[in-house]
Amino acid sequence: MKSQNHAYVPELDQLRGLAAVLVLYYHSIQRGFYAMGNDGWIVGGSPFESLIYEGHTAVSLFLVLSGFLLARGLIGKQVVYGKFLKNRALRVLPLMVFLVVFAIYGSNNYSLAELIAPFLLLTNTPIVFADQTELTGTLWTITVLFQFYLIAPLLFVFMARMGAWRFLLPAVALIFIVKCIVLYANRNDADELFIISYYSIVGRLNQFLVGLALAVLWPTLMRLLAARWAGALALAVSFAAILAYCAQLNAAGGIMDWQSWHVLVPEIEALLWAAFIAGFVAARPLALPWLGRVAAGVGLISYSLYIFHWPIHVIAWNVFGTDEPLMLDTLSDAAWFTTLVVLPASLLVAGLSYWCIERPFLMLRSRYVAPEPAPGEVRRAA
């Protein structure tokens, strides 16, 4: 749905849809691999396969996009904090609360702290709701996102007053240093190192800041990539870099096999996806009317798709698995099963969710950018 606070760019909706679909394939094919009785991490035979098997990287795309979309057109402008948070709450909380309430009735053996945690946006902390329904399996991302929303308007103010780069570059360095301190304290626990780096605002905050930096650079980038061939070149180079990165990560054991260089993974992914976003918007690779509309439509329901694909793919693999009637037993089978069953079912439920839950609340959003003062008012204030 178009925002009242910045111009609509269809390619950005298309990228949202791309991120949601990539995460869906990553989750479903990984679960299918284990449902077939296999152990370990899937290693791809080509860079394209590695991109699917490391499809969690699309979360980084989503978070960089979020930072970019918030900052685009807002840096240097006065943001009304209360109205900003109201709009953000209308964007993410209705579906989140709906899911948590329903999940409670399908679960048992949970503590009061676990029950309260999602409503306090703490689902990515050690207090995690033990949800048997799987409805809340991806809500940790929304928690990270909203934690960023709480500070985003303040960052805009600091960037406007101090200068965007004079604030952002030291901030990125500081956050990285403090993240390393946190990780060092857990240096003997590889699982905890992965959890902090992957699931928390500590590991993810710099991805939002890269999105802000992309918004600062955006006018310059769009001038440099004004010719469509330049955008296509940037898109090809950035995509090749993403493939090479995913192939290296995949061959080394995957994202969950913590290695010392993984401390850089959030920042590496953020920079790669920022370049990809710029190239994608400039090149407009989905410019065919029907293809662009379909991709943007998936982007429109991407939040619901990201949320609902999780319980759907879990149930689908539990029901079918490797038993009759499908007898799935290869990775190719998993890909086809995802394409023909999991993806359509997830799109259907996501469409219903968007129409019945997201859209009515999104229509309640309002403008949160304060109007520019009239010239006479500026002179009087001076």
Gap between the Cα atoms of 85 and 294, Å rounded: 30
Q: Kind and range of the H or E element at 337?
A: helix 331-337
Residue 27 lies in a domain: yes
The three-point CA angle 263-268-273 to 5° equals 145
Residue 3 lies in a domain: no
Q: How many CB atoms lie within 10 A of CB 374?
A: 9
User: Residue 323's pLDDT is what?
Assistant: 60
- pLDDT tens by residue, 296-324: 999 999 999 999 999 999 999 988 876 65
Residue 333 lies in a domain: yes
Q: Residue 375 sits in which domain range?
A: 10-381
Using CB atoms within 10 Å of the CB of residue 119, give its burial: 0 to 12 exposed, 13 to 18 middle, 19+ buried: middle
Gap between the Cα atoms of 94 and 106, Å rounded: 19
Query: CA 343, 321, 26, 148 torsion: positive or negative?
Result: positive
Residue 303 lies in a domain: yes
Q: Which two tokens stand for residue 345?
A: 């079912």
Residue 4 lies in a domain: no
User: Residue 135's pLDDT is what?
Assistant: 92
Residue 44 lies in a domain: yes
358 close to 95: Cβ distance less than 8 angstroms? yes
295 close to 232: Cβ distance less than 8 angstroms? no
Q: Which two tokens stand for residue 371?
A: 């109007």
Stretches in the chain below the pLDDT threshold 50: 378-382
User: Residue 122's pLDDT is what?
Assistant: 84
State the DSSP string of 15-73.
HHHHHHHHHHHHHHHHHHHHHTT--S----SSHHHHHHHTTTHHHHHHHHHHHHHHHTT
Q: Total structural domains in the chain? A: 1
Query: CA 86, 304, 240, 41 torsion: positive or negative?
Result: positive
- pLDDT tens by residue, 34-50: 888 888 899 999 999 99
